[in-house]
Homo-oligomer: A and B are copies of this chain.
Amino acid sequence: MNKPIAVLGGGNGGHQMALDLTLRGFDVNFCEHPDFKESFKNTLDTKIIENTGLIEDKARIHEVTLDFKKAMKDVDIIYLVIPAIAHESFFDNMIPHLRDGQLVVIWAGDAGALRLAKKLREEAPRKRINIAETNTLPYGTRLLGPSKVDLFVKAKKMFFSTFPAKETEEMLGMVKETFPVLESIDNILSVSFSNPNPTVHPPGTLLNIGRIQWSKGDFYLYREGITEAPSRIIRMVYDETLAVAKAFGFRMREFEDEQFRNPCSVMCVDFWAPFDKGGIVANMKGPSSIYNRYITEDLPYGLVHRSQLGDLVNVPTPIIDSIINLGSGICESNFWKGRTLMDLGLDGMNREQIMEYLQMGC
């Protein structure tokens, strides 16, 4: 029997992953941050998670806990499945218990792997931890109630890289058994730039913000919101991102023209989602507020480093910058203080130094 896999984060994605891996024969140590003890109580007490939607099944999870130490003790693989906004807090709880040789994979990392690497360098420089991230969660899923998830789409293509990138193939070998759809790509920035959320969600949401507020939650981004004009801006965010990647010389997920011209833009291209037929994605309600993660996570964590990297290689990103400015104004936050090159440990480097750092780790 293999060692258990740690799944950290007890939200939608964490519940789904803990159950999915369990159903597929893996032992899972499922751990939530103590701050969220209340909402996690049922899962903690029963250890049972139930699935509806694409999977109709339930299972008993190997271990469910609020104790990071316990969850991370005898595992080789740690899957972190949380919003980027919670990275800092989870990293702080994880670092004391990390041990040499463990692999931490940050799902839909928004370059969080670079952030964790910087923190480890500063706070635990002697630990030899492998760090990786993916560009998206493997699921579109929502908690329907305590310990009950509804799975509506599954990824058919996901990108994976480690930091440093030279270890990607070796680490992919470790995790491929759990998620066979993972594909390696150049480096962590290749992965974060390939996350479709920052490309689609902030412009889609901002360009409907009056309607979102007026409708008081009766809003469907993919059915109503992503009409021709928002699609065009989404395409421009993507084009600017791709231009930055090309100027640096790393690959990212590329899309065809026509993939921007459907009701959910490129959002579901890599998912088993009949988005323009069955209405699975079209029927997803929301966002219902300006403080939704479509803005508060995807914008500061997803777009700021794209813009700053553009500056470094003289690639203008006026549309990305405009989205950041307007989102900041709307939420009365300075989102430019989101995930910056300084947070990622890339400040002060030039293009060549960044590419070398991503590849070699120093």
Which residues of chain A have a CB within 8 Å of any CB of chain B?
204, 206-214, 224-230, 232-233, 236, 290, 318-319, 321-323, 325-326, 329-330, 332
Copies of this subunit: 2
Contacts of A228 in B (CB 8 A): 213
Evaluate contact between B322 and A232: CB separation under 8 angstroms: no
Q: Give the distance in Å from the alpha carbon of A5 to the alpha carbon of B229 in the complex.
A: 43
Q: Which residue of B lies closest to A227 (CB)?
A: B213
Residue from B207, B213, B318, B323 within 8 A of A209 (CB atoms): B207
In whole Å, how far is A242's beta carbon from the nearest beta carbon of chain B? Answer: 16
Closest 9 A/B residue pairs (Cβ): A322-B322, A213-B227, A211-B211, A208-B210, A210-B225, A322-B325, A229-B330, A209-B229, A318-B325
A209 touches B236 (CB 8 A): no
Partner of A207, one of B210, B227, B232, B325: B210
* A232 neighbours in B (Cβ, 8 Å): 329-330, 332
CB distance from A225 to the nearest CB of B (A): 4
Give the residues in chain B near A329, CB-CB below 8 Å.
232-233, 236, 319
Complex Cα–Cα for A269 and B316 (A): 39
Chain B residues whose C-beta falls within 8 Å of the C-beta of A210 in the assembled complex = 204, 207-208, 211, 224-227, 229-230
- A290: chain B residues within 8 A (beta carbon): 229
Give A206 to B206 CA distance when docked, in angstroms: 9
A14 to B233, CA, bound (A): 36
In the complex, A208→B318 CA distance in Å?
A: 20
Q: How far is the CA of A229 from the CA of B214 in the complex (A)?
A: 10
* Beyond A211-B225, A232-B332, A322-B326, 17 additional pairs, beta carbon < 8 A: A204-B210, A206-B207, A207-B208, A207-B209, A208-B209, A208-B211, A209-B230, A210-B211, A210-B225, A210-B229, A210-B230, A211-B211, A213-B228, A214-B227, A229-B330, A232-B329, A233-B329
Task: Say whether, besides A207-B210, A211-B208, A211-B211, A233 and B330 are in contact (CB < 8 Å).
Answer: yes
Closest residue of chain B to A233, judged by CB? Answer: B329
Partner of A213, one of B229, B233, B330: B229
Q: Which residues of B have CB within 8 Å of A319?
A: 325-326, 329
Interface centre among A228, A236, A325, A330 (most CB of B within 10 A): A325
Query: Interface centre among A214, A318, A326, by most B CB within 10 Å?
Result: A326
In the assembled complex, the CB of A232 is this many whole angstroms from the nearest CB of chain B, namely 6
Chain B residues near A236 (CB, 8 Å)?
A: 329
Q: Across the two chains, which residue of chain B brings its CB closest to A290?
A: B229
> Nearest Cβ distance between residue A213 and chain B, in whole angstroms?
4
Task: List the B side residues contacting A224 at CB < 8 Å.
Answer: 210-211, 214
Q: Specify which chain B residues have a CB less than 8 angstroms from the CB of A209 in the assembled complex.
A: 207-208, 227, 229-230
In the complex, chain B residues whose CB is within 8 Å of the CB of A322: 321-323, 325-326
Q: A296 to chain B: closest CB distance in Å? A: 13
Q: Which residues of B contact A330 (CB under 8 A)?
A: 229, 232-233
